[in-house]
Structures are given as C-alpha cells and as structure tokens.
Amino acid sequence: MKKAIQDHYGPMTAKTYDDIAKKYFWAYPQVLEAVAMEALYARKNHLRNVKNTYSILDLGMGTGNLSETLLQTYFEISKTETLPKSVHLLGTDMSQPMMKEARIKLQKFSQLDFQIKELDLNNLLREIEGATFDTVISSFALHHLDSDKKRKLFEKIFSMLNPGGLFVFADRVSHGNCQEDVEEGGYLAVVADRFRKIFGSSAPDLEASIEILKEQFNEDGDQPSGLNDQIQWMKEVGFNNVRSPFLSFGCAVISGSKESSCSKEYL
C-alpha cells in the first residue's frame, strides 16, 4: 500500500492537489471546516485540559489543508478567549512532495512549532513512541486502510491522546446499510457530475463516469468503511461521546473523546 500511495501522490499530484480537491471533491472546504468547528467550538471543552502547549497530530496531512484550517480557526479564537499561545503540530504523510507543500502552508503561522514526518499509518506507535497529543485530526486518509487496520489505528490513537483529548477525522464512508448505500451512490454521482461539467462534451455520460471513478478508486487502494461501523469501533476501543456531526453524499466527520476526570462535552 505504501508504494502505491507514494506513487499516486507524487510531485505532479502534490502541485495540483488543492485545485483538484476543490473542483472534484464534494463539499471539500466544508468538510475541513466541519472538523475545525467540531474540535474548537462544538467540543471545545477538551481544550480546558491543555496545560501549556496545545499539541496536535495530523495523520495523512497531504498538502496541509486540514491543519491550515484548524490553526487559522484556533488562532482567531485565541484573540478573544484564553487559550494556550504555544501550539505544537506533528504532521505525517507518506508522500514527500505533499509534505513539501504542507510545510509552505504552515510557515505563515509564526506562533506554531511544527514538525512534518514521513510515516506509515500502520507503524504509528513504533514511529512516534511515547508521544501524546491533545487533538488528533485526519482528512481523507484513513480510507486507504482496511477495516481491521482502521480499528487497530483507532486503538493506537486512543492510547496517544492525553486525558480529555479529542480525535476528529473526515473521510469517505462506504455502503453498509440503506442510508450509507444512498450516501455512497450520491458521492460517486456528484463527483462524476463535476467531472463531466469540467470536460464538457468530451466527457462520457454519467453512468460511464461513475464506473471510471470506481475503477480509479480501486486502483488508488481506497477501502472506505461504513459510518456506523467506524463509530462502533471507536466506542469499542474506549472513545466516549462518539458521533458524526457531518454527513453529506458519502463524506463524513466523526469524533470521539478520551474522558478525563473533569471533562464534559458540549453535545
């Protein structure tokens, strides 16, 4: 899987990823904003457990769009609310070209101490041994893992969170029940429709475009899991107050907390 992802997200993809994501991905900016809103507004009580430095882990950060969205929101809030001024972010990915783009984005945050590391999600604990975080985030990365590996990753993330910490991620969700069947089909349809509008008369019809997308996703190693399945796996490994505040055409945001003795969520 690692080589396939590195090959797919090479220099050309890294340079064009942001533009492609905005044109093709359904509700891409809204999904990123939903993660930030969930972490910093809807469930902001987890920030009360932060002592001196707010620590963030971004898994599969790509070109850094989610980190950028979260940090912009955080530093804006910190102008009017008492929040830790010191912020440390560790970003991980398997594509050096994508990480290069992320470094460029994050350099504008003068208050931020950040590190970006090449890391395989399957080796999370071994490669970041002993590190703990207040917030773990991810966007459109975990669908590269199969169901068993996702569950194991959730368990690893839980162990790396500080008491009161929060895990929030956005990703594609697959079919698994009637509602998810509708969401998955809708996701493929809206992306295919955007594809057709961009290419105009030279594009195949909608059904053919959907089939092309399916083939491309399979080649990319996509293995999205059901929304309800992932919520259940998070509960099983210890997360509390697990929920999905955003679901639209097969794109979902899911969050869960690691309770401390004094934490209480806004729900």
Which secondary-structure segment (H or E) carries 124?
helix 124-127
Instruction: For domain 2-173+223-257, give the CATH number.
Output: 3.40.50.150
> Which candidate, 3, 118, 4, places its Cα nearest to that of 61?
118
What pLDDT is recorded for position 160? Answer: 96
Contact 220, 8 (CB under 8 A): yes
Residue 188 pLDDT: 72
Cα separation, 241 vs 225, in Å, equals 20
pTM confidence score: 0.83
Classify residue 215 as left (phi > 0), alpha (psi -120 to 50) or beta: alpha
Average pLDDT over residues 80-104: 94
Looking at residue 37, what is its pLDDT? 98
Contacts 24+ apart (CB under 8 A), 257-262: 257/43, 257/46, 257/164, 257/165, 257/166, 257/167, 258/158, 258/161, 258/162, 258/163, 258/164, 258/165, 258/166, 258/167, 259/163, 259/164, 260/49, 260/163, 260/164, 261/163, 262/48, 262/49, 262/164
Q: Report how far residue 10's alpha carbon sits from residue 95's, in angstroms, rounded to the nearest whole number.
A: 7
Q: Name beta bridge partners: 132.
A: none
Give dist(CA 138, CA 147) in Å, integer. 17
| pLDDT value of position 122 | 83
Q: Is the pLDDT of residue 79 over 80?
A: yes
Q: How confident is the model at residue 260 (pLDDT cuts 50, 70, 90)?
A: confident
Which among 65, 27, 62, 33 has a CA at the least distance from the CA of 194? Answer: 27
* pLDDT tens digits for range 223-248: 889 999 999 999 999 999 999 999 98
Closest C-alpha among 116, 120, 91, 99 to residue 3: 120
Handedness of CA 98, 161, 30, 27 (dihedral sign): positive
> Measuring CA to CA, how many Å separate 74 from each of 40, 84, 254?
7, 10, 19
pLDDT at 199: 67
- Alpha-carbon gap, residue 138 to 89, rounded angstroms: 13
What is the tens place of the pLDDT at every residue in 173-204?
A: 876 544 444 445 666 777 677 666 666 767 67
Domain ranges of the chain: 2-173+223-257
Cα–Cα distance for residue pair 208/83, rounded to 1 Å: 51
pLDDT surpasses 80 at 27: yes
